[in-house]
Chain A
Amino acid sequence: MTTDNRFSQELREERDEQQTGTLSEVITGPVSDWASDFSHAAPEWAADPFPIQDDLRQRCPVAHTERFGGAWLPTRYDDVASIAYDTERFSSRAIIISNFRPSLDLAPVGGSPPISSDPPFHHDARKLLLPAFTKTAISRYEESTRAYCNSLIDALDTSDEKGVVDAAQDYAKYIPMRVIGDMLGLPQQDTALFAQFVEAVLGTIDLPPEERGERLSPLFDYLYDQVRDHVDNPRNDLTTHLINAELYGQKLGPEHVVGTIVLLLIAGIDTTWSAIGASLWHLAGHPADRERLVASPDALSTAMEEFLRAYAPVTMARLVKEDMRFGDVDMKAEDWILLSFPAANRDPAHFDQADQVVIDRAANRHAAFGLGIHRCLGSHLARMELRVALEVWLSRIPEFSLADPSAVTWSTGQIRGPRALPLRIS
């Protein structure tokens, strides 16, 4: 038996020097016109993107910006769907918009397969992961998730004499961190670290690449350490599964293994944290919906789908492969597409009362988990976590309200959810 040295520090440092790509000019500052200068990094977008999206859908359904080296923003459901389905003309080589476009050589694998992969490689890489994320496979984690949610409620610090807790920081955030950490076989005492990693990946899109690299380096140091530990001590978890997995008769390259672990860790945390937080934010501000769910827990099945539709946390990106005509606009090769599933989900052409939260909505063909081949791999995990988190919260804390609506803050960028959510619980 030969030693598995795919993950050695020496090999990693050699590869680090090979990272190439294209930089675009950094344009920041206030948005002048959302139709021609949009920025999803703008504070008004974070605070409330829906009026902006509704306005654009009416007057300029495929908006443009020169920022990030050029990007387009479709806001109609049909346009979002057609781009999501068109993997011939739109690449997933990078799915988070920044001023850095990774080298074309990175396709079809991309930096974090399979989300960054294009066909035909995409499906082969995805197939390695699908069985671990089926509804049945995920159901094994429900009991421990429920116990963990209860322990978070037990630990809430209610010493504040006003009875105020931060449901985003002290509850919603920890649930996906713990569950995905357990699935990957990462030590439970490291859970709090993961939030820093998420911030390093998603909160640094406007930084120059070298600085961004420095911010990301602790994440990769940590994961390479964890992977090496799993090579030495194999376990029944996703990390060992990826180390042993084979594609086309060969073990996966180290970038593939670690890139996928980064994906599972990051994509699983910010997103579900946002979904749980946005749902609690809605219920805190809508007492009739809250009382209804407390009285009729069965109504949660439609209510949570409606929260996913109305407050869809995830927007993805694509890169235009070649100059092309899309509807009334001319897209250029390497233009970004900001693929806004949240905007699609509020298109009145597809949803009655699209701008209203209707917790009994029976027909809800929303796109919160994406459309087409990149359907969120973790959707069954996210749904389980969201349902259990809301069930436990509503049964333990049936009465709660926004302590100070103006103190609620929302994350900026492609993943949107409450990051400060002070709730009065007594």
Chain B
Amino acid sequence: MKVQIDSDRCQGHGRCYDLAPELFGADDDGYGQALGDGIVPPGQEQGARLAAANCPESAVIILEET
């Protein structure tokens, strides 16, 4: 699983880095960023889904690997 932030949608609500700080951080203006390459380590999928389910702008994108 991989996560991305759609920067056109993100408005800096910060729900992603509130709920899953191991996967997301903030830039200097408070906009969300996926940490590192966005690859979700095994066992942290729930944090990624929680972040996506709570983003008011639907800016958290989850890429599931098949």
B56–A130 touching, CB < 8 Å: no
Specify which of B30, B50, B57 is in contact with A134 (CB 8 Å cutoff).
Answer: B30
Q: Is the CB of B11 within 8 A of A134?
A: no
Complex Cα spacing A426 to B12, Å: 41
B53 within 8 Å of A (CB atoms): yes
B4-24 to A contact mask, C-beta < 8 Å, 1/0: 000000011110011000000
- Other-chain residue from A136, A362, A363, A369 in contact with B13 (beta carbon distance below 8 A): A369
Judge whether A131 and B17 touch: CB under 8 Å.
no
Contact of A134 with B28 at beta-carbon distance under 8 Å, contacts A369-B13, A375-B11, A375-B12 already known: yes
Q: Is the Cβ of B55 less than 8 Å from the Cβ of A127?
A: no
Q: Are B29 and A130 in contact (CB under 8 A)?
A: yes
Which label, helix, strand, loop or mixed, suits the secondary structure of the B interface? loop
Count A interface residues, CB 8 Å.
21
Could you tell me if B54 and A379 are in contact, using CB atoms closer than 8 angstroms?
no
Does residue A89 face the partner (Cβ distance < 8 Å to B)?
A: no
CB pair B56 A365 closer than 8 Å: yes
- Interface size on B, as a range, is 10 to 19
Interface status of A135 (Cβ within 8 A of chain B): yes
Is the C-beta of B58 less than 8 angstroms from some C-beta in chain A? yes
Complex CA distance for A135 and B50, rounded to whole angstroms: 19
Contact pattern, A 347-388, Cβ under 8 Å of B = 1, otherwise 0: 000000000000000111111010111010001100000000
Q: Which of A135, A365, A366, A371 interacts with B14 by CB under 8 Å?
A: A135
**For window 26-66 of chain B, which residues contact chain A by CB distance below 8 Å?**
26, 28-30, 50, 53-58
Residues of A within 8 A of B50 (CB): 362-363
Please tell me if A121 contacts chain B, counting CB pairs below 8 Å. Answer: no
Q: Is A222 part of the binding interface, using a Cβ–Cβ cutoff of 8 Å?
A: no
| Contact partner, A135, options B17, B53, B55, B57, Cβ 8 Å | B17
Give me the interface of B with A, judged by CB distance under 8 Å: 11-14, 17-18, 26, 28-30, 50, 53-58
Kindly list 10 other residue pairs between chains A and B, CB separation below 8 angstroms, not including A364-B54, A372-B11. Answer: A130-B30, A134-B26, A134-B29, A135-B18, A362-B53, A363-B53, A371-B11, A371-B57, A375-B57, A379-B13
